[in-house]
């Protein structure tokens, strides 16, 4: 039996831990061969595959990124690409596909599952915005990186009596902003789920300034002001999948805060620093559990499913449920964070 694995979408710490776990579970427990598909769905269209031996995955547990490479290619957009995927599944004698990715990658997995391809999904994203799983791996690492950045910004903000705006990732959901904001003691957190009123934000910051002469504002890249339905973007560039490229709302917010409050305000955009580097211990363990469970799902012929963390257990849920929508920030958590605003 040959199973294959691909990693699609934005990279994320823990992907290599999944790949290693899949190969070891498949080889040791089932004596199956594992085929690595390069660069996400693109590799399956173009026939870029390689055998993944135990030797190939040795020593990669702690490494960030993905040894397989990734892309944001949507394989379902053209009939030619769909046909190529089918041809390559036959050509390389692939009996099952493990698709590791976020909402875009998992939607494509569902598409091919409906066409009869045996597929199991593994949820991955630093954004933690996939429905049906308590957490995705990569999120814990990203939150630690942002928290450390907020800690560093605190000391310089305090010394210079400035407002520091930190822009973090989070296209549809503000999980990274909320969790790192709580952990880092942010004085304001702006997220996509809750449109912000800049005047109210400034009122809170000015009130705080009577007491404390500095503030930290965390802004998720997908945050929008009240009444605006489009994301702020610096240009109209889109990624390969068709998602508009975000980034820059932090600077807009900082400029408005400085204008309204008269307090010097600086911006830090953390960008891809949040996605790079070694995974945390938590993410290594979660990724390993997902990898092992995904191979077991293939053994159980549990196709069209995604492995997921529910309480302390790893379960499988229908891919349909996972890709229905983006998992939004728990409003109870956000309301709790608000206690510390201003």
Task: Determine which residue in the list 6, 71, 100, 127 makes contact with ligand F6P, applying CB under 6 A.
Answer: 127
**Residue 125 is a binding residue for ligand F6P (CB under 6 A):** yes
Binding footprint of ligand F6P, residue count (CB under 6 A) = 12
Phi, psi of 274 (to 5 degrees): -70, -20
**Residue 10 is a binding residue for ligand F6P (CB under 6 A):** yes
Concatenated DSSP letters of 30-68 = I--EEEEETTTHHHHHHT-EEE--TTTTTT-TT--S-TT
**Residue 190 is a binding residue for ligand F6P (CB under 6 A):** no
Whichever of 127 and 283 has its CB closer to ligand F6P, that residue is: 127
**Residue 170 is a binding residue for ligand F6P (CB under 6 A):** yes
Dist CA 288 CA 125 (whole Å): 15
* Residue 324: CB minimum distance to ligand F6P, A: 18
Query: Within 10 A of 47 (CB to CB), how many other CB atoms are there?
Result: 14
Whichever of 112 and 139 has its CB closer to ligand F6P, that residue is: 139
Whichever of 10 and 184 has its CB closer to ligand F6P, that residue is: 10
Q: Which residue has the tokens 């020593």?
A: 59
Using Cβ positions, the residue closest to ligand F6P within the complex turns out to be: 10
Dist CA 34 CA 50 (whole Å): 9
Tokens of 162: 């400035």
Tell me which of 127, 129, 283, 296 is the catalytic residue.
127
**Residue 169 is a binding residue for ligand F6P (CB under 6 A):** yes
**Residue 246 is a binding residue for ligand F6P (CB under 6 A):** yes
Cβ pair 215, 208 in contact under 8 A = yes
Dist CA 5 CA 272 (whole Å): 24
Whichever of 25 and 231 has its CB closer to ligand F6P, that residue is: 231
**Residue 249 is a binding residue for ligand F6P (CB under 6 A):** no
Active site residue 235: no
**Residue 143 is a binding residue for ligand F6P (CB under 6 A):** no
**Residue 250 is a binding residue for ligand F6P (CB under 6 A):** no
* Residue 102: CB minimum distance to ligand F6P, A: 6
Q: Which stretch binds ligand F6P (CB under 6 A): 25-33, 239-247, 284-292, 315-323?
A: 239-247
Task: Determine which residue in the list 57, 68, 89, 126 makes contact with ligand F6P, applying CB under 6 A.
Answer: 126
DSSP 244: B
In the structure, how many helices (H) and strands (E) does the chain have?
11, 11
Dist CA 190 CA 180 (whole Å): 12
* Residue 203: CB minimum distance to ligand F6P, A: 29
Task: Give the SS3 label for residue 175.
Answer: helix
Task: Give the SS3 label for residue 338.
Answer: helix
**Residue 224 is a binding residue for ligand F6P (CB under 6 A):** no
* Residue 63: CB minimum distance to ligand F6P, A: 18
Task: Give the SS3 label for residue 266.
Answer: strand
Query: Within 10 A of 254 (CB to CB), how many other CB atoms are there?
Result: 22
Dist CA 118 CA 54 (whole Å): 23
**Residue 162 is a binding residue for ligand F6P (CB under 6 A):** no
**Residue 239 is a binding residue for ligand F6P (CB under 6 A):** yes
Q: Which residue has the tokens 């608000």?
A: 338
* Residue 67: CB minimum distance to ligand F6P, A: 18
Distance of CA 121 to the CA centre of its chain: 15
**Residue 171 is a binding residue for ligand F6P (CB under 6 A):** yes
To the nearest 10°, the Cα dihedral for 43, 44, 50, 53? 110
Q: Which of 232, 247, 196, 5 is nearest to 105 (CA)?
A: 5
Whichever of 127 and 187 has its CB closer to ligand F6P, that residue is: 127
**Residue 258 is a binding residue for ligand F6P (CB under 6 A):** no
Instruction: Point out which residues bind ligand F6P (CB under 6 A).
Output: 10, 102, 125-127, 169-171, 221, 239, 245-246
Report, as residue numbers or ranges, the catalytic residues: 127
């Amino acid at each position: 039996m040959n199973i294959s694995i691909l990693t699609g979408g934005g990279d994320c710490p823990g992907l290599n831990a999944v790949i290693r776990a899949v190969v070891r579970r498949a080889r040791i427990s089932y004596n199956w061969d594992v085929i690595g598909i390069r660069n996400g769905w693109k590799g399956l269209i173009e026939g870029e595959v390689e055998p993944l031996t135990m030797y190939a995955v040795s020593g990669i547990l702690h490494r960030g990124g993905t040894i397989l490479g990734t892309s944001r290619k949507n394989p379902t957009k053209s009939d030619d690409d769909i046909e190529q995927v089918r041809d390559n599944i036959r050509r390389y004698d692939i009996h099952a596909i493990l698709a590791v990715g976020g909402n875009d990658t998992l939607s494509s997995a569902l598409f091919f599952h409906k066409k009869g391809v045996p597929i199991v999904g593994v949820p991955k994203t630093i954004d933690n915005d996939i429905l049906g799983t308590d957490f995705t791996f990569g999120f814990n690492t990203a939150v630690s990186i942002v928290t450390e950045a907020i800690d560093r910004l605190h000391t310089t903000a305090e010394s210079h009596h400035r407002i520091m705006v930190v822009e973090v990732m989070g296209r549809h959901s503000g999980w990274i902003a909320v969790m790192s904001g709580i952990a880092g003691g942010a004085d304001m957190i702006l997220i996509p789920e809750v449109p912000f009123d800049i005047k109210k934000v400034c009122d809170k910051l000015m009130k705080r300034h009577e007491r404390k002469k500095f503030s930290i504002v965390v802004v998720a890249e997908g945050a929008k002001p009240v009444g605006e339905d489009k994301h702020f973007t610096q240009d109209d560039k889109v990624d390969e999948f068709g998602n508009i490229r975000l980034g820059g709302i932090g600077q807009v917010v900082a400029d408005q805060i400085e204008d309204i409050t008269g307090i010097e305000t600086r911006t830090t955009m953390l960008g891809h620093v949040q996605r790079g580097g070694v995974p945390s211990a938590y993410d290594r363990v979660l990724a390993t559990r997902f990898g092992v469970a995904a191979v077991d799902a293939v053994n159980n012929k549990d196709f069209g499913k995604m492995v997921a963390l529910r309480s302390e257990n790893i379960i499988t849920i229908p891919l349909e449920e996972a890709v229905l929508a983006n998992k939004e920030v728990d409003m109870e958590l956000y309301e709790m964070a608000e206690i510390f605003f201003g």
